[in-house]
Structure 1
């Protein structure tokens, strides 16, 4: 198990708790909206905004934190994350925010304490990038969608 360290931002509502897994088999831990003064944000159809979580995070070297949409919000209300999956790098120490977009046709209110996204911890492999002659494959230069037969 990997330990992820968090720190509360000044003024954050600590009673909301840290991100948490809803079930024993969950891959993503739910993170909550943490507004100053327990306010809410109304997001019109097509609009997007940055939602604060009240947290800063330290991710161990060799890992990233992926920020992903919650499927229930996406299905029921069209609420998604436009940069999904968002990546938080191991050397970032700023406030943890979630870019949320209303892809639905009705306004949606994000309230204080609402579970707004899932956080998934994943290993990272860094590569070296070089110029070299490429080997040939059966597919070759066939483009997007070219692996199907019909």
Structure 2
């Protein structure tokens, strides 16, 4: 099921969202001072490309530095990427097949606004009740 959801996600929204994160990451890396934000953009962009079967969790070591970094992130790129998730989610919700993917897009909005202090990890394979981005 994850493979089917990921392929649908890739075709309908994942690739385009990944390109947005990639563009933000490249711009932030060109500015040298903002390289940590560029790396975060690449990390979350790869997650946005193929999200099902993985999850975003908060790092225990994240603190004030991550919070301040996220404030800078929102100003530089976060709000654009969050807007992309919202618009894509609304468009996907216009079709019955796209509703679960639209909801998954809405769940990515907080991550697109605050990527620092988060990490991507694989979900254990435990059966149909695994926690995924869509469920």
TM norm. shorter chain > 0.5: no
Higher-Rg structure is: 1
Q: TM-score, normalised by structure 2?
A: 0.25
> If each structure's helix is expressed as a fraction of its own residues, which one has the higher value?
2
> If each structure's strand is expressed as a fraction of its own residues, which one has the higher value?
1
